[in-house]
A = this chain, B = another copy of it.
Amino acid sequence: MPEPIPRGRPRSEQSRRATLEATRELLHSVGYDRLTIEGIASAAGVSRQTVYRWWRAKSAIVAEAVLDGVIILPGAAAAGGSIAGILNAMGASLGSPENAGLVRALAAAAADDPAASEALYERMTGPTHAALARSIADGVARGALRPDIDPEVAADALIGAVLYRVLTRQDSPPGYGDDLAATVLGATPGTA
């Protein structure tokens, strides 16, 4: 009913998918800075005009690639487990050089496009952030965690620590998630 009857040739879903997948490939291989619309179009077997018809900037393409889940969001899937579990999953996921490079690329994309920024960070870190904050609030309510912990701020700290190490290219050692949980929350892994 607010449905405006579609006229003309319908948009090619195949072109859309090919574009987003090519974007992911190129983000992995050349990074955000050397990512070009020309390159995306040619790698996707799509005309440049078709790319411009649907996206306004390369940051928008990257954002949609993420929003569509074409770029797998590291750690977000594990957002139901325990606190240390989430952190270790994030650490493990970002431990692969490929994914770490992707995260850095997304940070670059977000740096010069506020619109993309929100979309990217909400999708990448938002769910994880929410899951962590919920678990922590739970723990505080149950008395399992210190009462002076602000769940939202704690979630900032936990995610921020991981992100900081990725951006500064410092590998996180295997048990980093446990150490981090213990340090911030004063809790041993299984306890929370």
Q: Is A138 close to B, CB under 8 A? A: no
Q: Is A54 close to B, CB under 8 A? A: no
User: Which secondary structure characterizes the binding site on chain A?
Assistant: helix
B-contact 0/1 string along A102-132, CB 8 Å cutoff: 0011011011101001100100010000000
CB neighbours of A164 from chain B (8 A): 125, 156, 159-160, 163-164
Q: Is A165 close to B, CB under 8 A? A: yes
* Minimal Cβ-Cβ distance residue in B for A105: B111
* Minimal Cβ-Cβ distance residue in B for A176: B153
Chain A contact residue count (CB 8 A cutoff): 42
- A169 and B118 contacting across the interface, CB-CB below 8 Å: yes
B-contact 0/1 string along A43-61, CB 8 Å cutoff: 0000000000000000000
The 5 closest A-B pairs by CB, nearest first: A160-B160, A160-B164, A108-B111, A33-B112, A104-B111
A-B contact pairs, 20 of them (CB 8 A): A33-B111, A34-B112, A104-B110, A104-B111, A108-B112, A111-B111, A118-B168, A121-B168, A121-B169, A150-B183, A156-B161, A157-B160, A160-B160, A160-B161, A160-B163, A160-B165, A161-B161, A163-B164, A163-B167, A183-B184
Known: A104-B110, A121-B167, A160-B162. 17 other contacts (CB 8 A): A32-B108, A105-B112, A107-B167, A108-B108, A108-B112, A110-B167, A111-B111, A114-B169, A125-B164, A146-B186, A153-B161, A154-B184, A157-B161, A157-B183, A160-B164, A163-B164, A184-B184
